[in-house]
Chain A
Amino acid sequence: MTATGGGPALRGTGAATPAGGGGSGVSVRRAPRLRTVLALARVEASLLVRSVLVLAGLLAGALVTWLLVRPTEPLWWRADLEIGGGQLLLGMAVLVAAQLAAGRPRRDAVADLYASFPATAGTRTLAHLIGLAGAVPASLLLLGAAVVVVQERGAVGAPSIPVLAGCLLLVIAAGAAGIAIGTRFAHPLAGVLGALVLFTTSATTHLASGGGIWLLPWGILQGQLGSLPGPLAGYPPAGAHTAELAGLAVLAGIAALAVTVSGARARGGLAAAGILAVAVTCFAGAVQLRPIPTAELNHLVTEIADPASVQHCTTANHVRYCLYPGFGRDLSSLEAPVNGVLAYLPARPGQPLTVRQVVSLDFTDPSLTHGHPERQISRWNAQTQNAPGSAPTASAIYLPVGSWPAAGGQLADAHFDLALATAEWAVRIPPLIVNGQPCVPFDQAREAIAIWLAILATHPPAGELTDGLGGLETGRGFQGVEVRNTMVPTWNYPGAAAGPTPSGPQLTAVGYLLAKAMTGLPERKVSQVLTSAWATWLNERTTDAQLAAALGIRMPSVPLPPSLRPGSTPPPGMTIVNANQPALQNPVCAT
């Protein structure tokens, strides 16, 4: 915590005339003002460096940065903005600490004592502002650590220096705002409220839209940066935003000095500086509100609609991988689950498999296309609607840009997801969607085979697979879809909710339980059974029961909960999927 009073005595200030005419008959000599300011600033900076609040903010900022960066694919054009999320937390802590420091004399009721000191209130405020340099090491430390972590995770692209400079300026501006608040309001609540207001600007999407999101101190919740295949000029307008933050920091400093400075000349200087800061801030705001150049958006649309023109394609093990420039580091990570499935296949389909990156951008989002005519936006939309990945195909797996995690559990889930998509291609389950409903391989042996292949290729934790049943095994829950007027219990595989391959079929609980039973058998035995009649197993009419009989295992049964049987009502707390839409049926996957 910033000290509430006192502090080391300043050397070199000498005796001085008490400010504000508070002295009475004491002859003192005015010390050089700059030396006093610097000496005071050094003390305030050291107090800020050692402030428990700032240290707590540093830890909280590191935690938030990690939480923002960890689950997503490390792309520098998004990661540097996420790093700013952690800096926002640090900035809030610095704001509170600076407000406490600036409000110290009035809060402790020693304003009269301070007035008898050689340093005037204006001098002390100036020292507080310079003392914000004490927050710079914490900000730089957090910034450096975050940059190293993101780079170590194999980030695509390069960090943006203006964005990172903006992170530092955000902390400084928050501290200056804290001093401005502290000089006027001494109560600690004022600082905490100021920090909450700063937080609110970033924590809600309701405050601004379109280009206005960049006017907020740090808009991390909005925009589509994570879906871009590369950096887009003017999105975000980093340089202008950094200028805006610098202007706001100067304005806050001037507001703080305006409260404490009394001389007419000083006030005139402050007014001139204030006008200049307002002009810089307004100009920076205007630059940020400018639309993204049409040429840049045209180029982006071309990259989305015709990815072959920019993507680098590689063929490995007869599978074609097409990735955007810079994403080559993902190749080995993509190959592993695909090759794992291919290794167990008795025969491959005639159509070769292509794994391709796609971009899913919403061109109606005003933050991307603000300032452009409606006709132009409609044209861009029309161009991207026919892009690869907009409709699923049997011989291609589409990976949206930004969805491939770097490490950890998310990567394991993504591996299983890709392995399952490869296995579905191998057993020829089509990615059929009717009225927005994915098809269900209902009572088809090939479904269990696909799940078995994916499990063997990636070896996911058994508990995670069982969790996909949604509590069906323990009787605590039930999830299902309606197929041919029958309620079918479903299984959601790991990574299904945020997986990299959208639009796959909806798998059933019976299929998973049969695949789980298959994993209990020797691999060679299962392989022999599958190889002996591969074409039969791929037939959509071959049932789960036939596969179970061929393998010599019991067919798993999944009884419906009593509440879903005819004539019963669901108990409290149980949710029935599609209960309000009895007519919504999922199609059966047919070749």
Chain B
Amino acid sequence: MTPRSPDLSPAEGAPRAPGRLIRRTRRPRLSWLRALHLLARPISRTMPWFTLITGCLAGTVILAVLVHVAQTSRGPLDQGTVRLAFLPAVVALAFVLRTPFRPLTQATPIPAWVTPAGHILLAAPVLAVTCWAQLRIVAHTIPPHTPGHPPAVYPLIAELAGWCAVTAAAAACLDRSRYADLGGAIAAPVSLATIALAWYAPISNRFLAEPPATAHGVTIAWYAVASAASALTCVAMRDQWHRYSRNRHRPSSPERNPS
């Protein structure tokens, strides 16, 4: 839980004490840095490390099993195997953005989006290391004197980055919906379906899959997707309220509102 620190100045929108005039002060830049310093520990503590690492390890273990079987019978693995092995990590990312205590953090001076944003920042290096390790494992299966150049890795990295960004966006959007409790469980299939559509639908396939698209084109297209998804994630994380598609016209009550 993020503690209320005396070092932090009151944020905009914080409840004002009745009968007292509160002068709006400009928040000094240094206080943000101090706040980040103070927030680092609770954010890293509340990060669902076990979920993320389980997902990353599960994919890597599957890849290791495939490598073991492939080395004995079926020859070197290709980049498609890396895609397959990275899916569990992508699925785990869908569960990282969920902050069950968000209703409480919204009442603190720190913006509520800081916690999920911090979790994403912490997850990024773990995902990068997983990707690197899986690429190394697959590269290990290719014999050293194989004729021809191995396929370029940079389009694959762009693609995996795009997958992560799409998953983060789906999880962030669902976290602001009435399905927040099962946000990860829904965001994961939604992300997988999006990835499958991007791969197989003829409209997107022309830009996002190689071939028919070129390696350069695939890289640009996936980074564009990742940028758009990241922007959507930011917007969703800054959103203050849960969205309700049903019972919109009913009078709201504290018991009915989970936030």
Q: How far is the CB of B14 from chain A (nearest CB, A)?
A: 31
Do A187 and B51 touch across chains, with their CB atoms under 8 A apart? yes
B184 CB contact (under 8 Å) in A189, A206, A573: A189
Is the pair A206, B70 in contact by a Cβ cutoff of 8 Å? yes
Residues from chain A with Cβ under 8 Å of B80 in the complex:
204
**Alpha-carbon distance A100/B88, docked complex (angstroms):** 17
A contact residues around B62 at 8 Å (CB) = 197, 200
Q: Are A573 and B189 in contact (CB under 8 A)?
A: no
A209 at the interface (CB under 8 A from B): yes
Chain A residues whose CB sits within 8 angstroms of the CB of B69 once the complex forms: 206-208
Contact with A along B161-185 (1 / 0, CB 8 A): 0000000000000000001011011
CA of A573 to CA of B217 in the docked complex: distance in angstroms? 10
Q: Is the interface of B mostly helix, strand, loop or mixed?
A: helix
Tell me if B198 is interfacial: C-beta within 8 Å of chain A: no
How near does chain B come to A202, taking the closest CB pair, in angstroms?
A: 11
* B210 smallest CB distance to A (angstroms): 13
A378 within 8 A of B: no
Tell me the smallest distance from the CB of A137 to a CB of chain B, in Å.
Answer: 21
Distance in Å from the Cβ of B117 to the closest Cβ of chain A?
A: 21
Q: Are B95 and A188 in contact (CB under 8 A)?
A: yes
Q: Is B58 an interface residue (CB 8 A)?
A: yes
| CB atoms of A1 and B88 under 8 A apart | no
Chain A interface, number of residues (Cβ within 8 angstroms): 26
Q: Find B55's partner among A189, A200, A207 (CB 8 Å cutoff).
A: A189
B77's partner among A93, A191, A206 (CB-CB below 8 A) is A206
Contact partner of B81 (CB less than 8 A), chosen from A4, A93, A96, A206, is A206
> Quick check: is A53 within 8 A (CB to CB) of the other chain?
yes
Taking a contact as CB atoms under 8 Å apart, the answer to whether B91 and A193 are in contact is yes
Is A10 an interface residue when CB atoms closer than 8 A count as contact?
no
Give the Cβ gap from B146 to chain A, nearest Cβ, in Å: 15
Min CB–CB distance A51 → chain B (angstroms): 11
Q: Please determine whether B77 and A189 come into contact, CB atoms closer than 8 angstroms.
A: no
Contacts A4-B181, A205-B74 given; does A189 touch B84 at CB 8 Å: no
Assembly CA distance A96 to B189 (angstroms): 10
Q: Is B216 an interface residue (CB 8 A)?
A: yes
Which residues of chain B are near A209, meaning CB under 8 Å?
73-74
| B193 near A188: Cβ-Cβ < 8 Å | no
Whether A188 contacts B184 in the complex (CB less than 8 A), given A196-B91, A200-B84, A206-B66, comes out as yes
- Tell me how far the C-beta of B13 lies from the nearest C-beta in chain A, rounded to whole angstroms: 31
List the B side residues contacting A261 at CB < 8 Å.
none
Interface band, chain B: 20 to 34
Given contacts A189-B91, A204-B66, contact A1 B84 (CB under 8 A): no
A498 at the interface (CB under 8 A from B): no
Minimum C-beta distance from B245 to chain A (A):
13
Task: Output the residue of A96, A187, A192, A205 with the most chain B CB within 10 A.
Answer: A192
Point out the residues of chain B lying under 8 angstroms from A196, CB to CB. 58, 87-88, 91
Q: Give the contacting residue for B54; candidates A189, A205, A206; CB below 8 A.
A: A189
The answer to whether B204 has its CB under 8 Å from any CB of chain A is no
Among candidates B55, B65, B193, B214, residue contacting A193 with C-beta atoms closer than 8 Å: B55
Map CB proximity to B onto A104-120 as digits: 1 under 8 Å, 0 otherwise: 00000000000000000
Task: Report which of B74, B179, B185, B214 forms a contact with A192, defined as CB distance below 8 A.
Answer: B185
Chain A proximity mask over B49-61: 1 for CB below 8 Å, otherwise 0: 0010011001000
Contacts of B66 on A, CB cut-off 8 Å? 204, 206-207
B232 interface residue per 8 A CB criterion = no
CB contacts (< 8 Å) of A200 on chain B: these are 62, 84
Alpha-carbon gap, A96 to B91, bound state (A): 13
Say yes or no: A573 contacts B200, CB within 8 Å: no
Would you call A189 and B92 a contact (CB within 8 A)? yes
What B residues does A205 contact at CB under 8 A? Answer: 74
Q: Which of A67, A93, A204 contacts B84 (CB 8 A)?
A: A204
**Inter-chain contact A193/B74, CB cutoff 8 Å:** no
Task: Check if A203 sits within 8 Å of B84, measured CB to CB.
Answer: yes
What is the CA–CA distance of A455 and B73 in the complex, to the nearest angstrom?
A: 47
Query: Given the interface contacts A200-B84, A206-B69, A207-B66, does A189 sit within 8 Å of B181 by beta carbon?
Result: no
- A517 at interface (Cβ–Cβ under 8 A)? no
Which of A60, A96, A204 touches B185 (beta carbons < 8 Å)?
A96
Given the complex of chains A and B, what is the CA–CA distance between A86 and B62 in angstroms? 23
A56 at the interface (CB under 8 A from B): yes
| Cβ contacts under 8 Å, B185 to chain A | 1, 96, 100, 188, 191-192
Proximity string of chain A (34-59) to chain B, C-beta cutoff 8 Å, 1 when within and 0 when not:
00000000000000000001001000
Contact B184 A4 (CB under 8 A): no
**Contact of A192 with B51 in the complex, beta carbons under 8 Å:** no
Answer whether residue B188 sits at the interface, using C-beta atoms and an 8 A cutoff. yes
How near does chain A come to B18, taking the closest CB pair, in angstroms? 37
B123 CB to closest chain A CB (Å) equals 14
Bound CA–CA A7/B83 (angstroms):
40
In the complex, what residues of B have CB within 8 A of residue A197's CB? 58, 62
Question: Given A204-B66, A206-B66, A206-B70, A189 and B51 touching (CB < 8 A)?
Answer: yes
C-alpha gap A208/B70 in the complex (Å): 9
Contacting pair B95 A56 (CB below 8 A): no
Of all chain A residues, which has the CB nearest B87?
A: A196
Cβ of B11 under 8 Å from chain A: no
| B186, CB-defined interface residue at 8 Å | yes
Contacts A4-B181, A192-B91, A205-B74; is A60 near B193 (CB within 8 Å)? yes
**Bound: A573/B214 CA distance, A:** 8
Which single residue of chain B is at the shortest CB-CB distance from A56? B189
- Chain A residues contacting B189 (CB-CB under 8 Å) are 53, 56, 93, 96, 192
* B residues less than 8 Å from A93 (CB atoms): 189
CA of A496 to CA of B186, assembled, Å? 42
Which chain B positions have C-beta within 8 A of A187? 51, 95
Alpha-carbon distance between A125 and B190 when the two chains are bound, in angstroms? 28
| Cα separation A203 to B78 with both chains bound (whole Å) | 13
Q: List B contacts of A207 (CB < 8 A).
A: 65-66, 69
Task: Give B189-200 as 1s and 0s: 1 = Cβ < 8 Å from A's Cβ atoms.
Answer: 100010000001
User: Given the complex of chains A and B, what is the CA–CA distance between A211 and B200 in angstroms?
Assistant: 30
Interfacial chain B residues near A56, Cβ < 8 Å: 189, 193
A204-B84, A209-B74 are known contacts. Are A1 and B55 too (CB-CB below 8 A)? no
| Smallest Cβ-Cβ distance to B190: which chain A residue | A56
CA distance A197 to B62 in the complex (A): 8
List of B residues within 8 angstroms of A573 by Cβ: 214, 216
Q: Taking CB as reference atom, which chain A residue is nearest B83?
A: A203
CB closest residue in chain B, given A575? B214
Determine the residue in chain B with the shortest Cβ distance to A572: B216
Chain A residues with CB under 8 Å of B84's CB are 200, 203-204
13 residue pairs bridging A and B, Cβ less than 8 Å apart = A1-B182, A53-B189, A189-B54, A189-B92, A189-B95, A189-B184, A193-B55, A196-B58, A206-B81, A207-B65, A207-B69, A209-B73, A573-B216
**Residues of A in contact with B (beta carbons under 8 Å apart):** 1, 4, 53, 56, 60, 67, 93, 96, 100, 187-189, 191-193, 196-197, 200, 203-209, 573
- Give the 5 A-B CB pairs with smallest separation, nearest first: A188-B185, A206-B70, A206-B66, A192-B188, A192-B91
Known: A188-B184, A192-B91. 5 other contacts (CB 8 A): A188-B182, A189-B55, A197-B58, A206-B69, A573-B216
> Which B residues contact A (CB, under 8 angstroms)?
51, 54-55, 58, 62, 65-66, 69-70, 73-74, 77, 80-81, 84, 87-88, 91-92, 95, 179, 181-182, 184-186, 188-189, 193, 200, 214, 216
